[in-house]
Amino acid sequence: MAGWRELWHLQFLGNELGAWTLALVTFLVTFTLLPVITGFISARRRRLISHGPPRVHFAIDLTALLIERTSRSFLWAVAVWLGSRHLTLAPRLERWLTIALVLLFWMQAAMWAMAAVRYAIDLRRQRSSGPDTLLKSSMEVILFAASLVIWGLALLMALGNLGVKIEPLLAGLGIGGIALALAVQTVLADLLASVSIALDRPFGLGDFLAVDASSGTVEHIGVKSTRLRSLSGEQIIISNVELLKARVRNFGRMRERRALFQLAVDYDTPVATLAAVPRAVREIIEATPDARFERCHLLSCGERALQFEIVYVLANPDFNLYADAQQRINLRILERFRALEVSFAAAVPTGVRLYGPPSPTPEAGGQQRLL
C-alpha cells in the first residue's frame, strides 16, 4: 500500500502521477461520453425528420440541432480543459492552452449562430404556404450578411477574452473601413442593394422580369448581381444597384391575364348585324374555359373600318393557356362572323393587346393579327 502511495505522489513534469491519472481519466471519459451523447441526439433528430417535420417545440428542436452541429474539435477542447483542471501547468503552457480554448469556443459559438440562422430560415419556409421562391432567392444574401456579422463579432469577442483592447482596434477599423468603403463603394453599393432585395423581396427565382430593354427569367440573385435567362437563351447579368434604379415589371406575380383585341369590320355591314356582334362575341368568350368576359363595344368609326374593342380576362396567366384560348376565340369568331355575313376590313390592322411583356416573348402577346 505504501508503494502505491509513493507512486501516486511521484512527481512528473511538475505534477503528481495521481493528478496526471485523474486528468487522463477525465479527458478520456469526457472525450468518449460527449461524442456518444451528440451522436445519439443527432441520430434521434434525423429519425424524427425522416418521418416528417419534427413535432416538438422549436426550442427543443433547435437545441438538438445545435448539439448536432458541435464539432469534434470543440469536444476535444472541452475534454482537454476539464482534464487540465487537475494539473498545475507552466504559465506559458497555460497561456497557449487558454488561447487555443478561447479561439475554439468562439469559433464553435459562431457555428452555432449560423446554424440558428439557417434553422430560422428553414422554419420560415416550412410555415409559408407553397414553395417560397422569394425566400429561397434571398437566402444566400441573408446568410452572407449574417456570416459577416457573426464571424466579425466572434473574432472581436475572442480578442477581448484574450486581453486585447478592442476599442483602439474598433477605432482603427472604423477609419480603415471608411477608406475601404470609398475604394470599393461600387461593390458596397451592390451589396447593400442585394440586402435591400433580400428584405423587400420584389421578385424571386423563376419570376419573369422586364427591365428596361431586357427581359428574362430570374435564375440567380447574388451579392453583386442578378442573372436573368432570356427567351433566346443567353444570360443577362444586371448589377443590383442598376436593377433597383430601373423600372422593373414582374410578370411572375400576375394572378390573371387581361387581353384586349380589336376587330375591324367593313362599313357595308348592316346595322342590325353590327348590333348582334357584341352578343355573339360574349357567347364565344364565356364558352371558353377560364375566360371571363368584360366588354365588347363598337368604339370608333375609322376612315376605312368600324372598330370593335373586346376585353376579356383569363384566370390563369400562363401564356400557353392564353394562346390556346385566343386561338379558340379567333376560330369561333371567324365561324360566327361568316354565319352572320360580317366582312372584315382587310386593309386595317387588327390584333390583340395584352397586359404582359413586350412581343415576341411567350409571356406576352404583343400584336397578333386575326386575319
Kindly report the backbone phi and psi dihedral angles of residue 74, in degrees, each rounded to the nearest multiple of 5, phi listed first: -70, -40
Residues 267 and 238 in one domain: no
Kindly report the backbone phi and psi dihedral angles of residue 105, in degrees, each rounded to the nearest multiple of 5, phi listed first: -65, -50
Q: Is the pLDDT of residue 296 over 90?
A: yes
Domain housing 327:
257-354
Provide the pLDDT for residue 15: 60
Q: Is the pLDDT of residue 326 over 90?
A: yes
Residues 225 and 237 in one domain: yes
Q: What percent of the chain has pLDDT over 70?
A: 70
Q: Is the pLDDT of residue 53 over 50?
A: yes
Residues 31 and 112 in one domain: yes
Contact 225, 242 (CB under 8 A): no
Question: Could you tell me if residue 370 is inside a domain?
Answer: no
Residues 61 and 173 in one domain: no
Instruction: Find the mean pLDDT for residues 275-289.
Output: 93
Residues 216 and 273 in one domain: no
Q: With bands split at pLDDT 50, 70 and 90, how would you rate the model's confidence at 354?
A: very low
Residues 248 and 137 in one domain: yes
Provide the pLDDT for residue 328: 94
Question: Could you tell me if residue 199 is inside a domain?
Answer: yes
Provide the pLDDT for residue 102: 84
**Of 299, 368, 359, the residue nearest 327 (C-alpha):** 368
Question: Could you tell me if residue 152 is inside a domain?
Answer: no
Identify the residue with better confidence: 127 or 37: 37
Q: With bands split at pLDDT 50, 70 and 90, how would you rate the model's confidence at 58?
A: low
Q: Is the pLDDT of residue 149 over 90?
A: no
Question: Could you tell me if residue 149 is inside a domain?
Answer: no
Q: With bands split at pLDDT 50, 70 and 90, how would you rate the model's confidence at 163?
A: confident
> Residue 348 belongs to a domain with what CATH number?
3.30.70.100
Question: Could you tell me if residue 52 is inside a domain?
Answer: yes
Kindly report the backbone phi and psi dihedral angles of residue 30, in degrees, each rounded to the nearest multiple of 5, phi listed first: -65, -45
Instruction: Find the mean pLDDT for residues 140-152.
Output: 78
Provide the pLDDT for residue 205: 82
Provide the pLDDT for residue 37: 76
- Rank 45-59, 61-75, 207-221 by mean pLDDT and report only the highest: 207-221
Identify the residue with better confidence: 175 or 166: 166
The total number of structural domains that make up the chain? 3
Residues 70 and 13 in one domain: yes
Give CA separation, 210 vs 217, 352, 363, in Å.
9, 20, 11
Last residue within a domain, chosen from 221, 253, 285: 253
Last residue within a domain, chosen from 230, 253, 276: 253
Question: Could you tell me if residue 365 is inside a domain?
Answer: no
Q: What percent of the chain has pLDDT over 90?
A: 16
Residues 264 and 211 in one domain: no
Provide the pLDDT for residue 368: 40
Residues 8 and 66 in one domain: yes
Question: Could you tell me if residue 31 is inside a domain?
Answer: yes
Identify the residue with better confidence: 78 or 140: 78
Instruction: Find the mean pLDDT for residues 57-68.
Output: 70
Residues 123 and 137 in one domain: no
Provide the pLDDT for residue 52: 52
Question: Could you tell me if residue 40 is inside a domain?
Answer: yes
> Residue 207 belongs to a domain with what CATH number?
2.30.30.60
Last residue within a domain, chosen from 83, 99, 127: 127
Provide the pLDDT for residue 312: 94
Rounded to a whole number of angstroms, the CA Rg of the chain reads 35
| Average pLDDT score, the chain | 76
Q: Is the pLDDT of residue 51 over 50?
A: yes
Residues 116 and 188 in one domain: no
**Cβ contacts of residue 331 below 8 Å, gap of 6+?**
none
d(CA 222, CA 241): 12
Residues 245 and 330 in one domain: no
Provide the pLDDT for residue 4: 52
